[in-house]
Structure 1
């Protein structure tokens, strides 16, 4: 018989697993929802920390006779779950990380908490318990998509303050933990998906290679951050599948998608490299209008080649140069989600460098954003300069994912910035096979643009996927790239 130990996240106790526990028990499993020290409504002792919660889980493990124990950690709960597994690796058959990243040895739990309010509290009131979000404010910890109103009300009513030490004390993991199989359960409504993880893996980040180990599997659920409340039946099914060793297994591609050839056969063209900027000049004499391409990310700092040498971006820059504009590709500093301000500064500096070139018509410039680089268009939409004649956006992310931890007043929200775009033209390439979590941001952007009267032209490519330029090579995608390029260049008078 499998015994499931269910460890809940911030501000909650074992009660949150009630429906999932019933379903697991009905399938013949032994189930032990854990209410960690201080999470039962009683005041936690001042010394309560992560080690306290790790020992809570260890005591449950030591009290069981079941031959197979599966530890499930939701959100913060993965820290005490992993800490306990590291101390009892011979007793734990699998650890399930439910809608949370995998922490590393020495990481405090606060490192993976997305809420800016939590970080502000820990900085301004160190040592004091972190209050639970107010009713209606639980999205700061992750999307509440799919949670019934009554369950959300119970969550707010029963929530308790989180002892500060549980978030600031470092997690201690041993080498023995590497022998324990793990399963990641990703919630698409909170901004995670198998496709997104595979895309990051394809970038070659060595830190992610552990995800390809034989004992690592993945599932995804089409819901928000609280699947035990929103989708208890599917979650129970996933947990049973994880216990059986089922799930998707990641593999590192021999040739990552972003390094495959560009879908258009564009002629070779010399480039000029100045700092972090590559320029591809057309055959026509200058000054000529320019299109500045802004890559997505985050791209790990040590990954090579860098985006300005990826075939897709090189292909776009050469294509617009072939059509009569200066193609510009910029490497910017989006290496981590916290780097958006750095990347924005890099782009602004690159644009000024390009406009200062006498071969460029400084009064006719377009910016073209891709994927998660789409958030960087917010500055330009919110206050468009007169020389900015068009903004392009291809399979863009136009609002931060719920689990990215962006503050509510973040400047990187194109869904809001477009309301101030005025008559600045936007050419948006929408792919029909987009990941659901990204497509939702595009739909929100288009609704906001429509309500504010913004000028957005949509180029639809029904068969295309995210990053289609090197993976979906067909007549429809080629036509889509050409149409988008013509639309952007048309706004530049080319």
Structure 2
């Protein structure tokens, strides 16, 4: 027999799991829906203590701890102190908190995050459509939403602001992630982060961690309780999708660049490399801005991969200075640091006597697309063009720690006549693709000019995934469009 301990997100209690618990019990398993202390003085440690007392009293030989949203914090705290009693930890629409992280880091409502920085009063529950500020209500019936409104209770501030304390024992336990694709990323994006993201994502690879997807919003226990109960039973049995252990190389270097531009002189100064054309006099420059987050220990770094070497050389072969850059986007909280690095690189490039300082283009890739916001909001006169390739143009759900400053979808309203060349991958990650469509809608509304280069069969990172005539033509067309704007 397996005992499932079910811990919900903020404002909720054991009632959130009524249907799921009933279905688990009908299969002969135990279910323990938990209502945590709602006293205004309660904190994360209060809730962790409650779960420890419950764990110590359960007699079933196997215990699966299930944490939804905030609930994963006390679940991990308890699992870390009683690892011998826990057979698996299940994350339902939850983040990946690390030692020292308070739950407020993953609160999506920016108003609440700001308030908790200086106010320790309980957080009142949202009502009606305001639940969307805490997670997608996709799949919730009117009755389920009314039930949230009726039963929700204030969340003690300390539960969201106290840091999670872990020794590492919890992260060595078998784990399962239940990804709600109506609310956030699916397995494909997790695989991408495992291969290219910060070190903590590497822990998600291998046989210890499994994944399931549910096509619903943030509250699957209300929108699809049968499906969630089935997933929990399968997770307890060790089933689910496993992500292969990633190669030691950066993903951009797993293949060769789809074009074969000639080698050109390359000069390295600090964070930037200049790929220099065979030309006299100051030349326009294209600065290529990589995505991320990138593990700072990964080698080669982006500018030494075949991907960015290819782009830098290609620009130089056509008469422009190709500039590649290693910036400090090592976590989702590092966008301000990365933006500082990009701005510094631009000034360094413009000061080089071989560069025409009045003819500069910036080209952003993947999640580096969020860094375009500063330049869209207030484009300087020497910035002749922005280019973006399969960009992220608004933080997807689950990226709430990205500073509010980095929202190209909103910033484009300040772009004026700055021209953008946008390469769109037809087989893009859905959560990225929707941000591109939102950006294009916003650009259309404000009259910002955008030239679209479509790659209907292209995937994210298509330049090193095996060149096709379609993908080669797209890169050539995008580069031609950028250089045309630099020469006009």
Q: TM-score normalised to the size of structure 2?
A: 0.92
Deviates more, 1:229-238 or 1:74-83: 229-238
Q: Counterparts of 2:198 and 2:417 in 1: how far apart (Å)?
A: 40
Match among 258, 262, 270 for residue 265 of structure 2: 270
Q: Name the CA distance, whole Å, in 2 between partners of 1:432 and 1:251.
A: 25
Structure 2 portions without partners, runs of 5+ = none
User: What per-residue deviation string (whole Å, max 9, x for no partner) do you get for residues 383-428 of structure 1?
Assistant: 2222222111101001112222258x92311112223323322111
Is 1:6 paired with 2:1? no
Contact 1:258 1:470 in 2 (8 A): yes
CA contact (8 A) 1:258 1:312 kept: yes
Distance in 2, Cα, partners of 1:472 & 1:173: 43
CA gap 1:104/1:349 in 2 versus in 1, 3 angstroms: closer
> Which residue of 2 is the match for residue 15 of structure 1?
15
Q: Work out the CA distance in 1 between the residues paired with 2:306 and 2:191.
A: 19
**Contact 1:121 1:130 (C-alpha < 8 Å) held by counterparts:** no
Q: Is the 8 A contact 1:140 1:405 kept in 2?
A: no
Q: How far 1:35 moved relative to its partner?
A: 0.8
Q: Number of residue pairs matched? A: 486
The equivalent of 2:392 in structure 1 is: 397
Question: For structure 1, which segment, 477-486 or 60-69, has the greater mean C-alpha deviation from structure 2 after superposition?
Answer: 60-69
Question: Does residue 1:188 correspond to 2:206, yes or no?
Answer: no
Work out the CA distance in 2 between the residues paired with 1:144 and 1:213.
32
1:148 equivalenced with 2:141 (yes/no): yes
Find the counterpart in structure 1 of residue 37 from structure 2: 37
Counterpart of 1:461 in structure 2 is 455
Question: Residues 72-101 of structure 1: CA distance to partner in whole angstroms, max 9, x if unpaired?
Answer: 101111122222223433332211011223
Residue range with higher mean Cα deviation, 382-391 or 290-299: 382-391
SS in structure 1 at match of 2:333: helix
Query: Residue 293 of structure 1: CA displacement?
Result: 0.8
CA contact (8 A) 1:204 1:303 kept: no
Using structure 1 for the length normalisation, give the TM-score.
0.91
2:423 to 423, 429, 438: 429
Match of 1:71 in 2: 65
Shift of 1:23: 3.7
- Of 436-445 and 192-201, more deviation after overlay is shown by 192-201
Match of 1:166 in 2: 159
CA shift, 1:233, in A, is 3.5
How is 1:45-444 mapped onto 2 (pairs within 5 angstroms)? Answer: 46=41, 48-126=42-120, 128-133=121-126, 135-174=128-167, 176-177=169-170, 180-203=173-196, 205-254=198-247, 255-260=249-254, 261-405=256-400, 410-444=404-438
Q: How far, CA to CA, are the matches of 2:336 and 2:384 in structure 1?
A: 23
Residue number in structure 2 paired with 1:41: none
How many Å apart are 1:487 and its aligned residue? 1.6
Over 3 Å counting, the alpha-carbon distance change for 1:206 and 1:425 in structure 2 is: closer
Give me the whole-angstrom Cα distance separating, in 2, the residues matched to 1:337 and 1:375.
11
Say if 1:204 and 1:406 are closer, same or farther in 2 by CA, change over 3 A. Answer: closer
CA deviation string 1:36-69 (max 9, x = no partner): 111xxxxx163x2223212322343344343332
Which position in structure 2 is the counterpart of 1:470? 464
Q: Please state how far the C-alpha of 1:205 moved relative to its aligned partner.
A: 4.5
Q: Measure how far apart 1:295 and its partner are.
A: 0.9
Quote how far apart the aligned CAs of 1:437 are: 0.7
Distance 1:175 1:296 in 2: 29
Name the SS of the counterpart of 1:136 in structure 2. helix
Inter-CA distance 112–415: structure 2 relative to 1 (3 Å threshold)? closer
Structure 1 SS opposite 2:391:
coil
Asked whether the equivalents of residues 277 and 329 of structure 1 are also in contact (C-alpha less than 8 Å), the reply is yes
Change (3 A) 1:177 1:290: closer
SS of equivalent residue, structure 1 residue 466: coil
- How many Å apart are 1:435 and its aligned residue? 0.8
Q: 1 CA distance for matches of 2:261 and 2:359?
A: 24
Deviation at 1:121, TM superposition (A): 2.9
Task: Quote the Cα distance in structure 1 between the aligned partners of 2:423 and 2:179.
Answer: 27
- The Cα shift of 1:145 comes to 3.6
Between the aligned partners of 1:178 and 1:353, the Cα distance in structure 2 is 43
The change in CA–CA distance for 1:349 and 1:174 in structure 2 (over 3 A counts) is: closer
Q: 1:205–1:303: 8 Å Cα contact kept in structure 2?
A: no
Is the deviation greater in 421-430 or in 365-374?
A: 421-430
Q: Are the structure 2 counterparts of residues 450 and 185 from structure 1 closer, same or farther at C-alpha, using a change threshold of 3 Å?
A: same
Contact 1:143 1:403 in 2 (8 A): no
Counterpart-to-counterpart distance in 2, 1:279 and 1:428: 23
Q: Which runs of structure 1 show a deviation greater than 4 angstroms over 4 or more consecutive aligned residues?
A: none
Q: 1:402 to 1:16 in 2, by over 3 A?
A: same
Q: Matched residues in 2 for 1:154 and 1:453: separation?
A: 43
